[in-house]
A = this chain, B = another copy of it.
């Protein structure tokens, strides 16, 4: 993101209060500040963030559209709870959308983007060796940014962005077993190989497989109602 590819000299449109609210709420939910199932009272949120109900409610509509919060008419909002079935469904969708992105990247990406992606994977492996959960998440996120940009499908990108927030809700970051992380990187290397060969079918297959593996690892940790789930990315 911070390299040559971004020539857009825009002043990076100022936040806009509503967007700030959405972002802060998103973060608060993703990080567990508002646990799943907890109720959200408008007045409290207003005071908490120092904004008017008008703006807050508009922001809440967006979060609601993302499926991040649930509204029961005349009763109120609560943070959506994600049961095992829903989680599986989300991973299924994610698999095909990322698979699509993979196929499109293999088809459309410029060689510059291909190089960027390779660097990104290298970085990911490097970060993995000296073990920093935050850095790993960040690197992974960068990887996806490049992949999606190269794929060039705005709709898919947008949908994955939304899903990502919901997955973060599960992944109360703890990077799971180092076992899975290592396997994950292995998978990505194979994936990258297929992309560089411009092999659409293999790219698709490996990407879907990668997400399915992640899903399996994540879901295995989920059913226990008692404790948080680990990141299996």
Contact = CB atoms under 8 A, between A and B. Distances in A.
Interface of A: 13-14, 16, 54, 57-59, 61-62, 64-67, 73, 85-86, 89-90, 92-93, 96-97, 99-100, 104, 152-156, 158-159, 163
Number of copies of this chain in the oligomer?
2
Contacts of A153: 89, 92-93
A156 B86 contact: no
A30 to B, nearest CB: 17
Interface of A is mostly: helix
Nearest to A57: B58
Contacts of A61: 58-59, 61-62, 65
B155 A67 contact: yes
Given A65-B65, A73-B16, A159-B159, A89 B58 contact: no
A23 to B, nearest CB: 14
